[in-house]
Amino acid sequence: MELDMADIRRKILVTGATGQIGGALVRLLSADSSLQVVAAARNLDKARNLGVQTVLFDYDREETLAPALNGIDSVFMLTGYTVDMLKQSHAFVNAAKKADVKYIVHLGAPGDDNTKIGHWTWHQFVERYIEWSGISFTHLRPELFMQNLLGYGGAQAEGNGVIRHYVADASISWVDTDDVAAVAAVALQNPEIHAGKTYHLGYEAKTYPEIAEILTKVVGQKFTSESCPPEEFLEHVLDAGAEPAYMRCVYQNWIDYAAGAIPGADTVYDNFFELTGRQPKTWTKFAEEHADVFKY
């Protein structure tokens, strides 16, 4: 008698499946016939175009945790950017342990274990709680996302080629969100290799003026950068309804970047090719891929 492959495939839950990293991860994992991918989402209609099984999931509704985790072997864990991530992660890891989840790939934040950046330390508390639970883990610590330039912490607010940001001329390490998803996919496909590891993900260090030069060359229009007071960032995100505690940490983060007060902020790591078998995205390649977005 033939076995139904759905009965023996490892079942992976992807939280944040309708976001940039989660969506890219779903696409990568769903191409692996040995896996059964489940997209977790608060809005199931928004997740249906992912082409995989979907399940209702909301960190703020604990009654959704156990049903979403039923039968799950491995999890990609991405929490919201609010102080509630601490409470949410506590409940989620407890539910995962009760559901006999074997492996968690957690998306955290930059920094070493001695970081003084507020919200980075929150992510590390989550890392420690996962470890304490006894569930096998891999921690991902990405540097700044290149996609931030499309709208968060550095954007063309005026649509005139001026990139507004808050870190003066600081050189910062960057990573494309697709590359983050690629590392997460490799870990989830091969937990026996990557369990117990922490991977720092940052592959090109650039200042905003240097990024503006790259955009000018690639897009064929003049780009400049304008360093603005971090207070402007805080005012805008709070007016937009962002959670104050987390965003005040980000605000201080911009101040510390500008002051050169974050050790290793421009560190570039060499693990990507070994992990994925390809080279990471460069700023030039990123600009080429998003040239139509940057045109003004």
pLDDT digits (tens, 9 = 90+) for 2-32: 445 446 789 999 999 999 999 999 999 999 9
pLDDT digits (tens, 9 = 90+) for 86-98: 999 999 999 999 9
pLDDT at 193: 97
| Cα 15 from Cα 19, distance rounded (Å) | 9
| Cα 200 from Cα 142, distance rounded (Å) | 6
pLDDT digits (tens, 9 = 90+) for 271-292: 999 999 999 999 999 999 999 9
Domain spans of the chain, in order of start = 6-143+177-201+266-278
Domain 6-143+177-201+266-278 belongs to what topology? Rossmann fold (3.40.50)
pLDDT digits (tens, 9 = 90+) for 156-166: 545 689 999 99
pLDDT at 101: 98
pLDDT at 40: 97
Calculate the average pLDDT of the chain. 93
pLDDT at 243: 93
pLDDT at 8: 79
pLDDT at 263: 93
- Inter-CA distances, 250 with 29, 89, 107, 108, 152, Å: 31, 20, 17, 14, 11
pLDDT digits (tens, 9 = 90+) for 49-89: 999 999 999 999 999 999 999 999 999 999 988 999 999 99
pTM exceeds 0.75: yes
pLDDT at 6: 47
For the segment 121-146, the average pLDDT, to the nearest whole number, is 98
| Cα 155 from Cα 237, distance rounded (Å) | 13
CB atoms within 10 A of CB 217: 11
For the cut 90, the answer to whether the pLDDT of residue 150 exceeds it is no
For the cut 70, the answer to whether the pLDDT of residue 190 exceeds it is yes
pLDDT digits (tens, 9 = 90+) for 202-260: 999 999 999 999 999 999 999 999 999 999 999 999 999 999 999 999 999 999 999 99
* Exposure of 274 in the CB half-sphere (CA atoms within 13 A): 7
pLDDT at 197: 98
* Exposure of 237 in the CB half-sphere (CA atoms within 13 A): 21
